[in-house]
Amino acid sequence: MRRIYLDHAATTPMVPEAVEAMTRELTRVGNASSLHASGRSARRVVEESREAIAAQVGASPAELIFTSGGTEADNLAIKGAFWAGTEVGRQRVITSMLEHHAVLDSVAWLGSSASAKVSYIPADSAGRADLSALSEAVDSETALVSVMWGNNEVGTLQPVREIAATAAQHGAISHSDAVQAVGHIEVDFAGSGLDMLSFTAHKLGGPYGIGALLARRELRLAPILHGGGQEREVRSGTLDVAAAAGFAAALEVATKKRAEEERRIRELRTDLVNSVLAAVPWAVGYGPTAEGDRLPGIANFGFPGCSADAILMLLDAAGIDCSTGAACSAGVSQPSHVLLAMGCSEADARSALRFSLGHSSTRADVAALAGALPEAVQRAKAAAAFA
Amino acid sequence: MKVLAAMSGGVDSAVAAARAVDAGHDVTGVHLALSKNPQTYRSGARGCCSKEDAHDARRAADILGIPFYVWDLSDRFAAEVVNDFVAEYAAGRTPNPCLRCNEKIKFSAVLDRSVALGFDAVCTGHYAQLLRNADDVELHRAIDVGKDQSYVLGVLNQDQLRRSYFPLGATLKADVRSEARNRGLAVAEKPDSHDICFIANGDTAGFLEQRLGHRPGDIVDITGTKVGDHAGSHRFTVGQRRGLRLGTPAPDGRPRFVLAIAPKTNTITVGPRDALAVRGISAIRPTWTAQRLATEWSGEVQVRAHGHPIAATVWVADEGLEIVLESATAGVAPGQAVVVYDGSRVVGSATITATQA
pLDDT per residue over A181-192, tens digit each? 999 999 999 999
> Across the interface, do A313 and B117 touch by the CB < 8 Å criterion?
yes
- For residue A330, give every residue at least 6 positions away whose Cβ sits within 8 Å of its Cβ, in sequence order, or none: B33, B38, B51, B54, B70
Same domain as B352, residue B257: no
Q: CB–CB of B113 and A333 under 8 A?
A: no
Residue B45: pLDDT band with limits 50, 70, 90: low
> Does residue A101 have a pLDDT over 90?
yes
B80 and B175 in one domain? yes
In this chain, the answer to whether the domains covering A4-11+258-383 and A16-252 adopt an identical fold is no
Query: Domain limits of chain A?
Result: 4-11+258-383, 16-252
Kindly report the CATH number assigned to the domain that includes residue B317. 2.40.30.10
Tell me, what's the pLDDT at B189?
87
pLDDT above 80 for A311: yes
pLDDT of residue B41: 58
Residue B139 lies in a domain: no
**Mean pLDDT calculated for residue range B194-205:** 82
C-alpha span between A354 and A155 (Å, rounded): 10
Cβ atoms of A312 and A324 closer than 8 Å:
yes
Do the domain assignments include residue B295?
Answer: yes
Q: Which of B232, B257, B274 is the endpoint of a domain?
A: B274
* Residues in chain A closer than 8 A to B28 (CB atoms): 313, 317
Alpha helices in chain B (DSSP H): 11-22, 51-64, 74-77, 83-90, 97-101, 110-116, 150-153, 158-162, 173-182, 204-212
Residue A200 has pLDDT above 70, yes or no: yes
* Minimal C-alpha gap between B70 and chain A (Å): 6
B128, burial (CB in 10 Å: exposed 0-12, middle 13-18, buried 19+) = buried
Banded pLDDT at A47 (limits 50, 70, 90): very high
Is A224:A202 a contact under the CB 8 Å cutoff? no
Q: Are residues B34 and B176 in the same domain?
A: yes
Domain membership of residue B269 as a residue range: 214-274
Q: What is the CATH number of the domain that holds B229?
A: 2.30.30.280
Full strand arrangement of the beta sheet holding A352-356: A284-286, A298-302, A352-356
Residues B287 and B250 in one domain: no
| A162 Rama sector, left if φ>0, alpha if ψ -120 to 50, beta otherwise | alpha
Given this model, what pLDDT does residue B92 score? 87
Say whether A306 is catalytic. Answer: no
Q: Is B156 within a domain?
A: no
φ and ψ of A353, to 5 deg: -125, 145
Looking at the complex, does the CB of residue A330 fall below 8 Å from at least one CB of chain B?
yes
Mean pLDDT of chain B: 91
Residue range A160-178: mean pLDDT, rounded = 97
The whole-number average pLDDT for the span B19-37 is: 93
Lowest mean pLDDT among A371-385, B133-147, B236-250, B253-267: B236-250
Residue B4 above 70 pLDDT? yes
Q: Rounded to the nearest 5 degrees, what angle is found at the Cα of B324, between the Cα atoms of B81 and B260? A: 55
Is B69 a domain residue? yes
Asked if residue B174 and residue B53 are part of one domain, the reply reads: yes
pLDDT at B252 over 90: no
Identify whether B38 is part of a domain.
yes
Q: Which residues in A59-202 belong to E strands, given as ranges?
A: 64-67, 92-96, 117-121, 142-146, 173-177, 196-200
Size of interface A-B (CB pairs under 8 A): 51
Structural domains of chain B, count: 3
In which band, very low, low, confident or very high, does the pLDDT at B264 lie, cut at 50, 70 and 90? confident
**Residues B91/B233, Cβ–Cβ less than 8 Å:** no
Q: pLDDT digits over B219-233, tens only?
A: 999 898 898 999 888
Query: Could you tell me which of A155, A219, A115, A199 has the C-alpha nearest to residue A352?
Result: A155
- Residue B115 sits in the same domain as residue B7: yes
Same structural domain, B180 and B72: yes
Portion of chain A with pLDDT greater than 70, in percent: 98
Nearest to A263 by CA among A290, A295, A296: A296
Going by C-alpha positions, the residue among A47, A75, A93 that lies closest to residue A234 is A75
Kindly state whether residues B307 and B256 are assigned to the same domain: no
pLDDT of residue B44 exceeding 80:
no
Q: What is the pLDDT of residues B86-118, one digit of tens each?
A: 999 988 898 999 999 999 999 999 999 999 999
Note whether residue B284 is domain-resident: yes
In this prediction, residue B193 carries a pLDDT of: 76
Picking from A104-108, B60-64, B271-275, which range would have the lowest pLDDT averaged per residue? B271-275
Which chain B residues have any C-beta within 8 angstroms of a chain A C-beta? 28, 31, 33, 38, 51, 54, 58, 67-73, 75-76, 109, 112-113, 116-118
Does some domain include residue B118? yes
Mean pLDDT in residue range A75-84:
96
Q: Hey, what CATH class is A16-252 in?
A: alpha beta
Q: What is the pLDDT of residue B48?
A: 65
- Tens-digit pLDDT profile for residues A202-255: 999 999 999 999 999 999 999 999 999 999 999 999 999 999 999 999 999 999
pLDDT in the model for residue B49 = 67
Fill in the amino acid letter for A313: M
- B262 and B284: one domain? no
- For chain B, say whether A316 makes contact (Cβ under 8 Å): yes
Q: What percent of chain A has pLDDT over 90?
A: 94
Q: Are B48 and B91 within one domain? A: yes
Provide the pLDDT for residue B307.
85
B77 to chain A: closest CA residue: A387
**Closest-CA residue in chain A for B80?**
A387
Q: Are B235 and B243 in contact (CB under 8 A)?
A: yes
The mean pLDDT of A366-383, rounded to a whole number, is 97
**Given this model, what pLDDT does residue A331 score?**
64
**Rounded Cα distance, B210 and B212, in Å:** 6
**What average pLDDT does range B256-274 have in this prediction?**
89
CB contact at 8 A, A271 and A279:
no
Are residue B53 and residue B119 in the same domain, yes or no?
Answer: yes
The CATH architecture annotation of domain A4-11+258-383 reads Alpha-Beta Complex (3.90)
Same domain for B297 and B285: yes
**In this complex, do B70 and A380 lie within 8 Å of one another by their Cβ atoms?**
no
Q: What is the largest CA-CA distance in chain B?
A: 66
Residue B157 lies in a domain: no
Q: How many CA atoms lie within 13 A of A140 on its CB side?
A: 0
Tens digits of per-residue pLDDT, A322-348?
A: 999 755 555 677 889 999 999 999 999
The residue ranges of DSSP E strands in A27-139, in sequence order, are: 64-67, 92-96, 117-121
* A232 three-class SS: coil
